[in-house]
Amino acid sequence: TDRKKLHTAPVGQVFRLRPFHVLVATGGGYAGYRKYEDYKLQQLEKRGVEVPVKLASEWEVALYKSVPTRLLSRAWGRLNQVELPTWLRKPVYSLYIWTFGVNMKEAAVEDLHHYRNLSEFFRRKLKPQARPVCCVHSVISPSDGKILNFGQVKNCEVEQVKGVTYSLESFLGPRISTEEMHFSQAPPSNSFQKQLVTKEGNELYHCVIYLAPGDYHCFHSPTDWTVSHRRHFPGSLMSVNPGVARWIKELFCHNERVVLTGDWKHGFFSLTAVGATNVGSIRIYFDQDLHTNSPSYSKGSYNDFSFISNNNKEGIPMRKGEHLGEFNLGSTIVLIFEAPKDFRFNLKAGQKIRFGEALGSL
């Protein structure tokens, strides 16, 4: 009779989980599983075993997208800005150097104590002689990285890796009005691909370069050209490593990206910087109005900025090798450009390349 009553809450209230928490936990676990699968694929590739393409289903893509990668990327960006104590800099940076194989002998400043935070370390400059720019070839690599794919654009489809394609129009967005472009109007055509080709006898080419976390994070102008327009697509920030690019069709169309378009001596030219997990920050040096990875955005939206109508009548001239922008961490650059039919790439799929080395020429 002296026992006290024990009041207990219903089991449903104790273990109540909100849908958001379930999505985050499930999506995070699945993302970890995919990382493990990517690792196994990389080991098979190193042994020379050809891996068949296996694309993700819609529910797998939706599950991956449920991971709050944009929020995590903003948090990572803020963490990068935190100034590290002098005694902690060398251990932290040395761990990163060891993990990703960074060659600090190429850095303009080799002393690790010089870099106050991770952001400064990621954006480190190279010694002037570390990346000589090839003057013979017409197009050079805008960055360090790995060649995922290259070749002619066919049937309005571009390969992100061998056997996995994405829509050219979905990637670049609707064609920019002729008044905003620096080159002449092409003959009317129903094909989006043909609309981009401004000179008779030319073809459209593409090249995809993947920047790993240990690569040099700045990118440069791949040729002499004039930037007329910028289009910014807010979007997801899924990983863009080769394993995921082989798994998710139109990955580059899902992710946040900045498309620079203009013209070079052979017609249309574009460079697209694709964001990825922890790479929400994409910076273009001459574009102070660009702000990537905002907390909110409308799905499927994009915003345009014309450098001809807003700044001058000539656009932004860029010289081959000139500094163009930077990523916060590794990511991907996609070149899509017009050139004569005798243009040839001097590449092999999967090869490592460094900024300044030749991509192709006439």
Q: What is the pLDDT of residues 314-362, one digit of tens each?
A: 789 999 999 999 887 778 999 999 999 999 998 888 899 999 999 988 8
Find the mean pLDDT for residues 146-172.
87
Q: Is the pTM of this model over 0.85?
A: no
For the chain, the farthest-separated pair of C-alpha atoms sits apart, in whole angstroms, at: 99
3-state secondary structure 162-186: CCEEEEHHHHHCCCCCHHHCCCCCC
Catalytic residue, from 73, 141, 144, 229: name it: 144
Q: Which two tokens stand for residue 89?
A: 């800099």
**pLDDT at residue 4 tops 80:** no
The rounded distance, in Å, linking the Cα atoms of 138 and 221 is 12
- At 201-226, the pLDDT tens digits run 899 999 999 998 888 888 999 999 99
Is there a catalytic annotation at residue 182? no
Inter-CA distances, 83 with 79, 98, 273, Å: 9, 21, 27
Active site residue 331: yes
Catalytic residue among 66, 236, 239, 331: 331
- Asked about 220 being catalytic, the answer comes back as yes
* 95 has a pLDDT exceeding 60: yes
Residue tagged active-site, from 182, 217, 220, 232: 220
Distance CA 152, CA 120 (A): 38
Kindly tell me the number of DSSP H helices and DSSP E strands found in the chain: 10, 17
Check residue 47 and give its pLDDT.
66
The first and second tokens of residue 239, run together, are: 């990983």
Q: What is the pLDDT of residue 158?
A: 86
Binned at pLDDT 50, 70 and 90, residue 139 comes out as very high
